[in-house]
Structure 1
Amino acid sequence: MGEYLRAVVADFARFWPVYCAIPVAAALIGYVTKLVAIRMMFRPLEFVGVKPFLGWQGIVPKRAARMAGIACDTMTRQLVRPRDVVNRLDPERIAKEIEKPLLAATEEIVRETAARYQPGLWESLPGRVQRLIVHRVQAEAPRMVATVLDAIKRDVDSVFDLKDMVVTSLVKDKELLNRIFLEAGRKEFRFISRSGLYFGAVIGVVQMVVWVLFKIPIIMPLFGLFIGWFTDWLALKMIFHPKRPVRYLGLFEWQGLFLRRRAEVSEAYAELIAREIITPRNVIEAVLRGPLSDKVVALIQRQVDAELAKQTSIAKPLVVLAVGSRRYQEMKVRITEQIMARLPDTMRYIEDYAEDAMDIRNVLVTKMRELDDEEFEGLLRPAFQQDEWILIATGALLGALFGELQVQLVLLLT
């Protein structure tokens, strides 16, 4: 036994630079496998390779609809509801803010529609009558907008599907979906990468000792596999567990990194959602063009119908006589369509006011402070949980491959 140990010591003394490189290589294995695993979570956005199996698509983009749905469930059930978004808007203030562009759009709509459905009739009307019709519709346009917005607020859940708006935005823009998870977990992903370096180095010391003692080639790939698997598993555990601070060995205290950063995560998450997703423009677009927009169209249609019946009373008999009742109804539909087409651009004038009024960022931050630990964890956990085993298995496989390369180099150098 003594002779064996002397031989081991002599061998180590002779090749110590090669053996001391083993922990360094193990640290690199841990670090690289983490970088690759994180990269594989989010890249590429679309499938690259030969479908269905020979290739890869980032886990989050691949599961975009489900990931967006999970993220949105937390967002819309516990953080912000349609009424929280819409009820802060003042219809009278909005009507006032868009009055000038609305008046210009109204004149264009009336003139274009009248000329479209009865060429020659509109032109044949005296200019005084044309102006009278346009001015009367213009005079009522702001009130019509306020009335429509009031009706939307009274029945907001039937005309504004917040979840559909969020999911549609995230599925359509997978890069934005990635950013939500990356922004919320920015420091967690950095921790995962660095942890691979530290944990890999520690395990590498054990690997070096075992190799020096036994020199069995299978040791290297087995240790590489273990480093890739264990460091991935441990890093993920340390991000989310324990939920409350726990002191270990009386020496240090640890709490899941993501939960420890609640205040910082809340600020970053709310900023991104308010800046990129629940914006005045997206809300307006969702109400006017979303899956429930037919109800909004019906509201506007009824209002346009009432305004035309009232404001064109002088010319209406002439219009109906000239174009027929069916064509007159088509004309009203056309006016409604044009209002719908122009309203999103017109509403740009109220975006600054709407952003201040809705105050989505502060609403989100306030609500996120009220979440319990399980609910807060749900903001980021789905990005890992969905295919967590793939990440760990990938880390293990890459570790084994690096380990095999490592043993070949050690054998070559010794």
Structure 2
Amino acid sequence: MDWSLILADVRANWILYLSMPVVAALIGYVTKLVAIRMMFQPLEFVGKPPLLGWQGIVPRRAATMASIACDLMMERLLKPEDVFDRLDPQRVAAEIRDPLIDVVEDITREVAAEYQPGLWETLPEGIKRRVIQRIQKEAPHMVEQIMEDIKSNIHRVFDLKHMVVNALVRDKELLNRVFLEAGHVEFKFIARSGIYFGFAIGCVQAVVWAFTHNVWVIPLFGLFTGWFTDWLALKMIFNPKQPVRYFGIFEWQGLFLRRRKQVAARYGELVAQEIVTPQAIIEEILKGPLSDRLFALVQRQVQRTLDEQAGLAKPLVVFAVGTSRYQQMKKVVAEKVMAALPEALGHVEAYAQEAMDLKNLLVTKMQELTEEEFEGLLRPAFQQDEWILIAVGALLGFLVGEVQVHVMLHFAVMPVG
């Protein structure tokens, strides 16, 4: 080992030696940006399936990731009972009373004209009005009973997991936002850490090159920089779960876990404002896979109300229209009530938003999660196929290193003496 020759080479090519840590820092930074982008973009597959092309890991695994997030949500954060127990059936009935009264009048006139056209048309308007008013008076109580039935049979009529998963799979951009906004600090850390880690590795690379001048040194260091900085950044986000002091100098806790309060606030806000909203809940109940069970509840209450309102006249009504026609009439009324419910329930959204208060509920429960459970909120975005991201970082680092070594050999100056 001739130190004089090494020092002469460093003096003659000092610009190239200084460039090594800078290029390594650049490799670390760029590979992180590429890795983050590959996690979320593009939303749909670009290229020729199944291998020649790419789709962001999060959008590609949308159903799996949404299912994982929802399992945690339903297990520890939010249960269907939490959504409906805060709603007062009487208040719901009061909120939709006016639009319900209008709907009941329309339905009564329509059904009566269809099933007893001659009799209904010959009735005096005053009698028609009394019939309609009697049913209108009972309608809010019917709504209260339907709400009580829903609360008592919530798992039969409302599928929270289906609603959340379906929303996130349908809107992959929203799924991306959940991860990106909840973990925006962590993603910035990943990108910036590549600069610092890469620069440190580049300094070692310069020393090794000075001693060896081996053409494989720079590409291999580039590969190592791309791989190691990706791996280390991911580790530092989630580990250690509890604060640990290193070398007696500095303390570190997984960045995501250290920011639990801020993440909980943003995550709860996103879920409450974008996913589990009163509008989405109402739509899921009315149109989701369990909506046929809701129809059964509504039909039962409608039939009970009609039978009660028929009172002593029920035998005459049955005689006039026939038993089968009477049963069919009640079913038609139930169908029309179901068809009118979406618009009527739209009037209850403001009250539901206030009563459910899902944002504060989610934030409070999230802060009660253990470190392992809290990690599960964001970890799936990194864990799914993260080896691909690390491998891409290593490959990019190797290719940049290969270009770098050719540039250095081209511009290197041979030391004199």
Name the TM-score, length of structure 2 as normaliser. 0.92
- Specify the alignment match of 1:356 in structure 2: 354
In structure 2, how many angstroms separate the alpha carbons of the residues matched to 1:331 and 1:197?
A: 74
Relative to structure 1, the CA distance from residue 398 to residue 314 in structure 2 (aligned partners, 3 Å threshold; closer, same or farther) is: farther
Give how far 1:212 is off.
Answer: 2.9
In structure 2, how many angstroms separate the alpha carbons of the residues matched to 1:403 and 1:395?
A: 12
Alignment of 1:334 with 2:332, yes or no, is: yes
Look up the SS of the partner of 2:47 in the other structure: strand
- Specify the alignment match of 1:275 in structure 2: 273
| Residue pair 1:94, 1:350 contacting (<8 A) in 2 also | yes
Q: Output aligned runs, 1:294-305, within 5 Å.
A: 294-305=292-303
Look up the SS of the partner of 1:46 in the other structure: coil
- Specify the alignment match of 1:378 in structure 2: 376
- Specify the alignment match of 1:290 in structure 2: 288
Alignment of 1:95 with 2:97, yes or no, is: no
Deviations 1:240-289 (A, max 9, x none): 11111111111100001011111111111111111111211122222222
- Specify the alignment match of 1:255 in structure 2: 253
- Specify the alignment match of 2:415 in structure 1: none
Deviations 1:350-387 (A, max 9, x none): 21211121111111111112111111111111111121
Name the TM-score, length of structure 1 as normaliser. 0.93
In structure 2, how many angstroms separate the alpha carbons of the residues matched to 1:66 and 1:400?
A: 33
Q: Output aligned runs, 1:162-177, within 5 Å.
A: 162-177=160-175
Please point out which of 183, 208, 215 is paired with 2:206.
208
Give how far 1:205 is off.
Answer: 1.2
Give how far 1:16 is off.
Answer: 1.7
- Specify the alignment match of 1:76 in structure 2: 74
Look up the SS of the partner of 1:380 in the other structure: helix
In structure 2, how many angstroms separate the alpha carbons of the residues matched to 1:15 and 1:358?
A: 68
Relative to structure 1, the CA distance from residue 32 to residue 147 in structure 2 (aligned partners, 3 Å threshold; closer, same or farther) is: same
- Specify the alignment match of 1:111 in structure 2: 109
Moved more, 289-298 or 127-136: 127-136
Give how far 1:18 is off.
Answer: 2.5
- Specify the alignment match of 1:195 in structure 2: 193
In structure 1, how many angstroms separate the alpha carbons of the residues matched to 2:303 and 2:388?
A: 59
Alignment of 1:46 with 2:35, yes or no, is: no
Moved more, 234-243 or 335-344: 335-344
In structure 2, how many angstroms separate the alpha carbons of the residues matched to 1:114 and 1:204?
A: 86
Moved more, 248-257 or 105-114: 105-114
Look up the SS of the partner of 2:221 in the other structure: helix
In structure 2, how many angstroms separate the alpha carbons of the residues matched to 1:406 and 1:319?
A: 93
| Residue pair 1:133, 1:312 contacting (<8 A) in 2 also | no
In structure 2, how many angstroms separate the alpha carbons of the residues matched to 1:27 and 1:335?
A: 71
In structure 2, how many angstroms separate the alpha carbons of the residues matched to 1:169 and 1:333?
A: 32
| Residue pair 1:158, 1:295 contacting (<8 A) in 2 also | yes
- What amino acid does structure 2 have at the position aligned with 1:141? A
- What amino acid does structure 1 have at the position aligned with 2:181? E
In structure 2, how many angstroms separate the alpha carbons of the residues matched to 1:238 and 1:29?
A: 19
In structure 2, how many angstroms separate the alpha carbons of the residues matched to 1:263 and 1:183?
A: 14
- Specify the alignment match of 2:178 in structure 1: 180
- Specify the alignment match of 2:129 in structure 1: 131
Relative to structure 1, the CA distance from residue 121 to residue 32 in structure 2 (aligned partners, 3 Å threshold; closer, same or farther) is: farther
Give how far 1:124 is off.
Answer: 5.0
In structure 2, how many angstroms separate the alpha carbons of the residues matched to 1:107 and 1:362?
A: 40
In structure 2, how many angstroms separate the alpha carbons of the residues matched to 1:367 and 1:139?
A: 41
Relative to structure 1, the CA distance from residue 225 to residue 111 in structure 2 (aligned partners, 3 Å threshold; closer, same or farther) is: farther
Look up the SS of the partner of 1:371 in the other structure: coil
Give how far 1:198 is off.
Answer: 1.0
Deviations 1:381-409 (A, max 9, x none): 11111212111111111111222222222
In structure 2, how many angstroms separate the alpha carbons of the residues matched to 1:205 and 1:75?
A: 46
Please point out which of 10, 14, 18 is paired with 2:16.
18
Look up the SS of the partner of 1:243 in the other structure: coil
- What amino acid does structure 1 have at the position aligned with 2:289? P
Give how far 1:94 is off.
Answer: 0.9
In structure 1, how many angstroms separate the alpha carbons of the residues matched to 2:135 and 2:148?
A: 19
Moved more, 240-249 or 325-334: 325-334
Moved more, 219-228 or 101-110: 101-110
In structure 2, how many angstroms separate the alpha carbons of the residues matched to 1:105 and 1:290?
A: 23
Moved more, 285-294 or 295-304: 285-294
Give how far 1:312 is off.
Answer: 4.9
Moved more, 24-33 or 324-333: 324-333
- Specify the alignment match of 1:389 in structure 2: 387
Deviations 1:164-189 (A, max 9, x none): 22122222221121222112211111
- What amino acid does structure 1 have at the position aligned with 2:211? L
CA RMSD in angstroms, aligned pairs only? 2.2
Identity %: 61
In structure 1, how many angstroms separate the alpha carbons of the residues matched to 2:334 and 2:400?
A: 66
Give how far 1:98 is off.
Answer: 1.2
Gaps of 5+ in 1: none
Deviations 1:312-339 (A, max 9, x none): 5698778767765545444433332332
Alignment of 1:30 with 2:31, yes or no, is: no
Gaps of 5+ in 2: 413-417
Give how far 1:123 is off.
Answer: 4.4
- What amino acid does structure 2 have at the position aligned with 1:202? A
In structure 2, how many angstroms separate the alpha carbons of the residues matched to 1:191 and 1:171?
A: 28
In structure 1, how many angstroms separate the alpha carbons of the residues matched to 2:119 and 2:191?
A: 73
